[in-house]
């Protein structure tokens, strides 16, 4: 796939995740690694120019290498680029990473109880999603390694009081995982208000089909907003 097309799809992913409140209008980022070259296509640090993520275009998407050094594009990488570089370094199976700040997941990260699947389409997060007990910026290699270590071989991670990280073998999968993680958090919080929560069993769960689910999210949160 050409770099220009990868940039277009990452920009679309940023807009869609912002429209669905996975990213806020100002912060959060998405990356996609080219498995052949190792180059990382990622949202640049454009909000200093008062750009909002729901209006992201290819111009705000840059390339960086595996160490987080910009190789193409107008903007510098985000300060939390080490989330991406260190996960890619640790996980050859991962080709896309999302870091966002959805509020229901943040609320669940503050409760001292396991974050387990309660939504039937959350099989990818069984038996539970780990929580990294660090709320600050992931702005060093060492902190990035802590994130990668806490994520382990999983698909998602909560950062206590901060946000989430989701990964996938494709851009679609990483993004769908972010939406699913937040849906699971909403359901968990609603159920907890009614009484003790019983997590679903593994046999009760089914996984998303990332491509078809992602088409739905793009239609709902990007295309409609743009009048398409």
Residue 50 has pLDDT above 80, yes or no: no
The CA distances from residue 27 to 10, 32, 162, in Å, are 15, 17, 11
More confident residue, 42 or 24: 42
The pLDDT confidence band at residue 227, using thresholds 50, 70 and 90, is low
For 89-109, what is each residue's pLDDT tens digit?
Answer: 999 999 999 999 999 999 999
Residue 226 has pLDDT above 70, yes or no: no
Of 16-20, 133-137, 196-200, 223-227, minimum mean pLDDT range: 223-227
Which residue matches tokens 């974050």? Answer: 115
Mean pLDDT across 182-202:
95
Cis amide bond preceding 127, omega within 30: yes
This prediction's pTM: 0.95
As a whole number, the mean pLDDT across the chain is 93
The whole-number pLDDT of residue 52 equals 87
What are 14's two structure tokens?
């940023």
The whole-number pLDDT of residue 95 equals 98
Residue 194 has pLDDT above 90, yes or no: yes
Radius of gyration of the chain (CA): 17
Fold of 3-223: L-fuculose-1-phosphate Aldolase (3.40.225)
Mean pLDDT across 130-149:
97
For 54-74, what is each residue's pLDDT tens digit?
Answer: 999 999 999 999 999 999 999
Residue 150 has pLDDT above 60, yes or no: yes
| Torsion angle, alpha carbons of 109, 111, 190, 174, to 10 | 20
The whole-number pLDDT of residue 228 equals 53
How far is it, in rounded angstroms, from Cα 129 to Cα 120?
A: 15
């Amino acid at each position: 796939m050409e770099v220009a097309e990868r940039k277009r799809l990452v920009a679309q992913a940023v807009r869609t995740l912002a429209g669905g409140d996975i990213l806020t209008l100002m912060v959060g980022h998405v990356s996609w690694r080219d498995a052949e070259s190792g180059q990382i296509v990622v949202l640049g640090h454009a909000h200093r120019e008062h750009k909002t993520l729901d209006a992201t275009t290819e111009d705000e998407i840059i390339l960086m290498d595996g160490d987080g050094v910009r190789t193409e594009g107008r903007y510098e990488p985000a300060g939390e680029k080490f989330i991406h570089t260190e996960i890619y370094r640790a996980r050859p199976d991962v080709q896309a990473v999302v870091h966002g700040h959805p509020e229901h997941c943040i609320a669940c990260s503050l409760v001292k109880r396991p974050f387990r699947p309660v939504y039937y389409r959350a099989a990818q997060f069984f038996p539970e999603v780990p929580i990294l007990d660090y709320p600050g910026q992931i702005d060093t290699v060492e902190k990035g390694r802590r994130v990668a270590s806490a994520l382990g071989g999983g698909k998602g991670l909560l950062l206590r009081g901060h946000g989430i990280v989701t990964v996938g073998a494709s851009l679609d999968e990483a993004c769908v995982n972010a939406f699913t993680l937040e849906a699971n958090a909403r359901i968990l919080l609603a159920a907890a208000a009614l009484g003790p929560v019983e997590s679903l069993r593994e046999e009760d769960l089914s996984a998303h089909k990332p491509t078809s689910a992602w088409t739905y999210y793009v239609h709902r949160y990007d295309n409609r907003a743009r009048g398409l």
